[in-house]
Amino acid sequence: MPDQSLPKARTPEVPPRESKAAPAHEDISRRRLLGTAGATGLVLGTAGAAVGYAAAPSEAAAPLTSLGTDRAMFHGKHQPGITDGLQARGHVVAFDLAAGAGRKEAAALLRRWSQTARRLMAGEPSPHEDTDVARDAGPSSLTITFGFGHSFFARTGLEKQRPSALDPLPEFSSDHLDKNRSNGDLWVQIGANDALVAFHALRAIQKDAGRAAKVRWQMNGFNRSPGATSHPMTARNLMGQIDGTRNPKPSEPDFDQRIFVPEKGEPAWMANGSYAVVRRIRMLLDDWEKLSVRAQEDVIGRRKSDGAALSGGTETTAMDLEKTDVKGNLVVPINAHARITRPDQNGGAAMLRRPFSFHDGIDPDGVPDAGLLFICWQADPLRGFVPVQRKLDRGDALSQFIRHESSGLFAVPGGAAEGEYVGQKLLEG
């Protein structure tokens, strides 16, 4: 879990799509169906929310809260869900193409998926048998992101178009991988700030797959809800640590170079795309919580209270790797997680972390099945994720408290232009 911080959402580079005529029952945005359960519900608390839920739809209804109206753009230079802010709820799901399905079926599927994603992200019903799960909600910052796994290219006869950066990840000593919950032909990431909106999108994507593809694995995650803290701050993970302080930021001059494939990169269909490494990392919370706070801080290399480096300052103060205490010991231990994952300690290797926490119940022996759905983005995983993980493999103090249980690497092409679907340059090129 490299020690980096998530940037704020970027201003969309492509304007929203133009409106097209639609039947009256489809043209009504979900944002206009709630009635009064918006700002009024926040003032009145539980009673106000109940009244809003029961209210009839009205053309003059009060607007939703900003949480519901926030909208990400489907069309753009890059796919959504990469540089957008952390979302409160997430689903990641991998599909395998059905037996006999090939390039033609894959193209039709990506066309359906893109149409569905565009509509749902705009707060509109699914174009194919909408379930009404989220009809009362606005877009709620919904993002839907699509990627291709290594096996997809052989299944579709596109081996010559498979990027070398998509070569399988090497094995790591910390891996305890379940092959049934790893990799896949196709990958979809869904995020939203409302759980029903996120589930609605997951269900729509699954139904759209039809006979063309079947679910290989699916995982659910969450983050702190927007507005839950008095001011915006770096997220905490389930270990209670501020997690993500040194993420690269879009304001940095080399951000695009490190996170996105160049416009004239290879292969051409990956221009403005990125590579996602997805890892289910289980946290051994019972063992972790037996440590004192000071011992936990030594493992991470940062204060638990505010995320500042043990060498002093605030969360964003540069870590002093040479500072020692009165006994001559390094203040930031040599095997501290934050020391090992620093880009300047890894040849400049950088990745954009955009994870979700997960909790999938409690085992019969009382141990929580919980941890981090680690998702990171980079222009080339061989220069981003791999060197950092290899170094962590050799002596990270955190390794005895985590277990990597599944893994996947996916090529995520650039965003779809108006009138296009995601992956069109690959599938029709």
Catalytic status, residue 243:
yes
Q: Which of 136, 194, 243, 298 is catalytic?
A: 243
* CA dist., res. 37 & res. 54, Å (int): 9
* CA dist., res. 230 & res. 222, Å (int): 19
Tokens representing 379 are 């222009």
Q: Are 374 and 355 in contact (CB under 8 A)?
A: yes
CB atoms within 10 A of CB 345: 15
Tokens representing 299 are 């493992």
Q: Are 96 and 209 in contact (CB under 8 A)?
A: no
Going 404 to 407 to 409 to 414, the CA torsion angle's sign is negative
Q: Are 357 and 385 in contact (CB under 8 A)?
A: no
Q: How far is CA 343 from CA 3, 173, 339, 383, 399, in A?
A: 9, 21, 9, 11, 19
* CA dist., res. 422 & res. 147, Å (int): 9
Q: Are 43 and 151 in contact (CB under 8 A)?
A: no
Q: Are 187 and 410 in contact (CB under 8 A)?
A: yes
**206: enclosing H helix or E strand:** helix 195-209
- Strand duo 368-378 + 402-412: pairing: unpaired
Q: Are 163 and 411 in contact (CB under 8 A)?
A: yes
Of 347, 189, 361, the C-alpha closest to 275 is: 189
* CA dist., res. 48 & res. 109, Å (int): 42
Residue type, 129: E
Of 189, 175, 220, 199, the C-alpha closest to 95 is: 189
- Catalytic residue annotation: 243
